[in-house]
């Protein structure tokens, strides 16, 4: 402990005694990614993290002795291959554990459905419900994979924003050429897909998930399993126009080159952040925890001059990147009367609520970017419960009693969603301000594959629960009895499928939307750093005319999920922002 304190004191002295090329506010995975690329580009960089550990929402915390929880984000697939490759994250400790099968849906009538990357298993399992659906499923997956390949290139580049402020003729010309090339690439991709695929693609993006799935399949259990993916992380219903887009998420990512494979991370999701942090440190970045930024410092010319920490320490730099939400950055960290009123109004009225962001989805390219969020991350309208248990749940439909893990324990377990009507009913209750009486639950048990996060014979369980309003009309999340009542409601529902589950619980931690806001610093509890609505995408994220990570305040950049391409453990905003900073710095 003394060595750690001495090291922190040394780092703090170094922090104060030099002027840095760049400072990064927030040690979430995007902030760490930006720092790694900036340091590799030759800049002196310091990361300032408010909490006692790095990672933001991608953290591992030992909240119960011996049990390590991926407290917020809990699955990996969307981390950009370019980030993994360029930062050599495997060498820095990132180890991905593939899941096969990847999905298990138990039914109260004694049936169950397993799905995964094994095409023979899928056909056999779906055939139990419908031979027609079993034959259609490979075609369905092939179509989604083609659509995802179409969108891939948009993730790794900054939006084609127009130049801001005064610029030379040569810079304006280069900007026009760059933007024209960007749109030409998009058009070439569209032409390469062909008219039929483009029509099907547009239909998928704009339609309710129920319509899409009804067109493909007839079995309720298969449709409900896929429909759960279509509403995850939102307060939208399966009947909400535009909810069909989220069906893409299960094939959009990849694990070690295998598209559509979601994985656990050995050591929990905090290992993603630790690996990126290790790469940043190796490149020369300085990372400090328990270093809360209270305000940006602005010099007389109106340019960023560094930051002021909560303890009064001044840290000087001519470039600052904020990994905080746009609202927190501009409304809390930037001093008053620095930014123009119209910009402040745009930020102030940005949507951080959980109101469904799936309406009015007719703007094509904006909608493409919408699809790129991490649908398995928390967003307002959802609650995460992390549990320590002394045994695995035994599902009645499997008719097994031995304690060893089976295929039903490996992937995501869908509880309480045997039909799309059940999902819609749960959604409608939340629309009326009530936490769902029969919540939609996605259960994962990472300790089945990851032996480093729980004691032998015991397990870590993640519950991702919908739908929970930010401000319920029948109580308050600050009321301990109210919180416990909702948690027990979830456990009792699981008992219906796995009798005795409640009695296996050693302890649990629950994060409601307000908890995310307070503990992780997410405005409105929104893990995406802002709603992914029509007015908040691509060239309009976070606000129009400022989509390329720059801000009206000279020297200040954004690098978090409030920028293109949005939320999720992707690393793309951090990488893209760092490349923009390096480009400007070299000028």
Residue 399 CB neighbour total at 10 angstroms = 9
What proportion of the chain, given as a percentage, has pLDDT over 90? Answer: 58
Beta bridge partners of 287: 47
| Residue 66 in domain | no
pLDDT at 9: 65
pLDDT band for 537, please (50, 70, 90 cuts).
low
Locate the DSSP E strands across 457-538: 459-466, 505-511
- DSSP, residue by residue, 449-480: T-TTSS-TT-EEEEEEEE---SS-TT--TT-H
Residue 152 CB neighbour total at 10 angstroms = 15
Structural element, H or E, at residue 19: strand 19-20
Note whether 151 and 226 are same-domain residues.
yes
Note whether 515 and 570 are same-domain residues.
no
Of 76-85, 129-138, 443-452, 542-551, the poorest mean pLDDT is in 542-551
CA-wise closest residue to 296 among 264, 263, 322: 322
Quote the tokens at residue 241.
């126009």
Note whether 365 and 444 are same-domain residues.
yes
Give yes or no for a contact between 415 and 497, defined as CB atoms under 8 angstroms apart. Answer: yes
Mean pLDDT of 112-141: 96
The structure tokens 């779906």 sit at 126
Q: Is 196 left (phi over 0), alpha (psi -120 to 50) or beta?
A: alpha
* Res 370 pLDDT > 70: no
pLDDT at 5: 34
Note whether 219 and 139 are same-domain residues.
yes
Angstrom distance (rounded) from CA 277 to CA 27 = 9
Helices 131-155, 169-193: axis angle to 10 degrees equals 170
Note whether 243 and 318 are same-domain residues.
no
Of 33-47, 152-166, 406-420, 476-490, the poorest mean pLDDT is in 152-166
> Residue 304: is it exposed, middle or buried by C-beta count within 10 angstroms (0-12/13-18/19+)?
buried
How many domains does the structure of the chain reveal?
2
* Res 431 pLDDT > 90: no
Cα 407 off chain centre by: 26
3-state SS of the chain: helix, strand, coil percent to 5?
Answer: 40, 15, 40
- Would you call the peptide bond into 329 cis, given omega within 30 degrees of 0 as the criterion? no
Widest CA span in the chain: 74
Q: Please enumerate in sequence order all residues whose Cβ is within 8 A of that of 540, keeping only pairs 6 or more positions apart, or say none.
A: 366, 547
| Residue 163 in domain | yes
Angstrom distance (rounded) from CA 484 to CA 205 = 38
Q: Please enumerate in sequence order all residues whose Cβ is within 8 A of that of 583, keeping only pairs 6 or more positions apart, or say none.
A: none
Note whether 20 and 40 are same-domain residues.
yes
Alpha helices in 349-385 (DSSP H): 364-370
**Structural domain boundaries enclosing 274:** 2-59+81-94+267-350+542-586
* Res 506 pLDDT > 90: yes
CA-wise closest residue to 528 among 384, 385, 382, 374: 374
Note whether 342 and 382 are same-domain residues.
no
What 3-state DSSP class applies to 388? strand
* Res 194 pLDDT > 50: yes
| Residue 419 in domain | yes
Per-residue pLDDT reduced to its tens digit, 445-457 = 999 999 999 999 9
CA-wise closest residue to 137 among 156, 154, 114, 157: 114
Angstrom distance (rounded) from CA 319 to CA 321 = 7
pLDDT band for 146, please (50, 70, 90 cuts).
confident
Q: Is 460 left (phi over 0), alpha (psi -120 to 50) or beta?
A: beta
Final residue of a domain: which of 461, 487, 519? 519
pLDDT band for 323, please (50, 70, 90 cuts).
very high
CA-wise closest residue to 247 among 260, 266, 257: 260
| Residue 487 in domain | yes
Note whether 135 and 239 are same-domain residues.
yes
Structural element, H or E, at residue 309: strand 304-309
* Res 213 pLDDT > 60: yes
Per-residue pLDDT reduced to its tens digit, 382-411 = 899 999 999 999 999 997 767 789 999 999
Mean pLDDT of the chain: 86
CA-wise closest residue to 92 among 101, 100, 83, 103: 83
Per-residue pLDDT reduced to its tens digit, 90-114 = 999 999 999 999 999 999 999 999 9
Q: Pick 529 or 184 by higher pLDDT.
A: 184
Note whether 25 and 86 are same-domain residues.
yes
* Res 356 pLDDT > 60: no
| Residue 239 in domain | yes
CATH number of 582's domain: 3.50.50.60
Per-residue pLDDT reduced to its tens digit, 518-535 = 888 776 656 666 655 545
| Residue 115 in domain | yes
pLDDT band for 375, please (50, 70, 90 cuts).
very low
Final residue of a domain: which of 488, 519, 550? 519
Note whether 464 and 331 are same-domain residues.
no
Mean pLDDT of 497-503: 97
Q: Pick 479 or 254 by higher pLDDT.
A: 479
| Residue 135 in domain | yes
| Residue 529 in domain | no
* Res 52 pLDDT > 60: yes
pLDDT at 234: 66
Per-residue pLDDT reduced to its tens digit, 234-274 = 667 888 776 766 666 556 677 888 877 889 999 999 999 99
* Res 163 pLDDT > 70: yes
Note whether 257 and 284 are same-domain residues.
no
pLDDT at 26: 96
Note whether 277 and 315 are same-domain residues.
yes
pLDDT at 532: 55
């Amino acid at each position: 402990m003394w060595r750690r304190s001495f090291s922190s004191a040394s780092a703090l002295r170094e922090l104060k005694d030099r002027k840095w090329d760049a400072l990064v506010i927030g040690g979430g995975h995007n902030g760490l990614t930006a720092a790694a690329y900036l340091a590799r580009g030759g800049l002196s960089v310091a990361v300032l993290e408010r909490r006692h550990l790095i990672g933001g929402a991608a953290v591992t915390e030992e909240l119960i002795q011996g049990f390590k929880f991926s407290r917020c984000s809990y699955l990996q697939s969307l981390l950009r291959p370019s980030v993994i490759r360029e930062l050599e994250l495997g060498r820095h400790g990132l180890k991905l554990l593939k899941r096969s099968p990847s999905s298990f849906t138990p039914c109260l009538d004694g049936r169950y459905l397993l799905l995964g990357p094994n095409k023979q298993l899928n056909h056999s399992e779906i055939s139990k419900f419908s031979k027609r659906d079993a034959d259609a499923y490979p075609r369905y997956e092939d179509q989604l994979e083609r659509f995802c390949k179409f969108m891939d290139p948009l993730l790794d580049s900054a939006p084609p924003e127009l130049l801001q402020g005064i610029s030379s003729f040569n810079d304006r010309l280069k900007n026009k050429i760059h933007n024209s090339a960007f749109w030409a690439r998009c058009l070439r991709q569209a032409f390469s897909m062909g008219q039929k695929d483009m029509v099907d693609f547009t239909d998928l993006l704009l339609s309710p998930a129920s319509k899409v799935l009804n067109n493909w399949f007839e079995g309720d259990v298969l449709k409900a399993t896929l429909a759960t993916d279509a509403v995850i992380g939102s307060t939208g219903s399966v009947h909400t126009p535009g909810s069909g887009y989220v069906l893409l998420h299960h094939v959009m990512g990849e694990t070690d080159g295998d598209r559509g494979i979601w994985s656990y991370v050995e050591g929990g999701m905090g290992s993603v952040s630790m690996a990126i942090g290790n790469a940043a440190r190796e490149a020369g970045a300085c990372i400090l925890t328990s270093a809360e930024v209270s305000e940006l410092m602005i010099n007389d010319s109106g340019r960023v001059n560094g930051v002021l920490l909560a303890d009064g320490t001044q840290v000087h730099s001519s470039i600052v990147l904020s990994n905080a939400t746009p609202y927190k950055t501009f409304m809390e960290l930037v001093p008053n009367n620095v930014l123009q009123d119209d910009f402040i109004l745009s930020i102030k009225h940005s949507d951080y609520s959980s109101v469904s962001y799936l309406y009015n989805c007719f703007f094509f390219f904006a909608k493409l970017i919408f699809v790129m969020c991490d649908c398995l991350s928390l967003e307002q309208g959802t609650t995460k419960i992390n549990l320590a248990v002394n045994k695995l749940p035994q599902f009645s439909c499997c008719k097994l009693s031995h304690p060893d893990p089976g295929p039903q324990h490996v992937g995501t377990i869908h509880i309480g969603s045997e039909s799309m009507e059940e999902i819609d009913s749960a959604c409608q209750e939340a629309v009326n301000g009530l936490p769902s009486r029969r919540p939609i639950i996605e259960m994962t048990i990472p300790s089945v594959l990851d032996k480093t996060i729980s004691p032998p014979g015991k397990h870590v369980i993640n519950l991702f629960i919908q739908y929970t309003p930010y401000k319920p009309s029948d109580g308050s999340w600050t009321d301990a009895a109210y919180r416990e009542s909702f948690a027990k409601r979830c456990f009792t529902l699981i008992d219906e499928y796995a009798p005795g589950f409640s009695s296996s619980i050693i302890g649990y931690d629950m994060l409601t939307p307000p908890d995310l806001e307070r503990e992780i610093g997410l405005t409105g509890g929104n893990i995406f750093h802002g709603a992914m609505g029509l007015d908040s995408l691509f060239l309009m994220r976070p606000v129009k005319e400022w989509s390329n990570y720059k801000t009206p305040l000279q020297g200040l950049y954004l690098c978090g999920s409030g920028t293109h391409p949005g939320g999720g453990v992707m690393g793309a905003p951090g990488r893209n922002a760092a490349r923009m900073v390096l480009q400007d710095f070299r000028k």
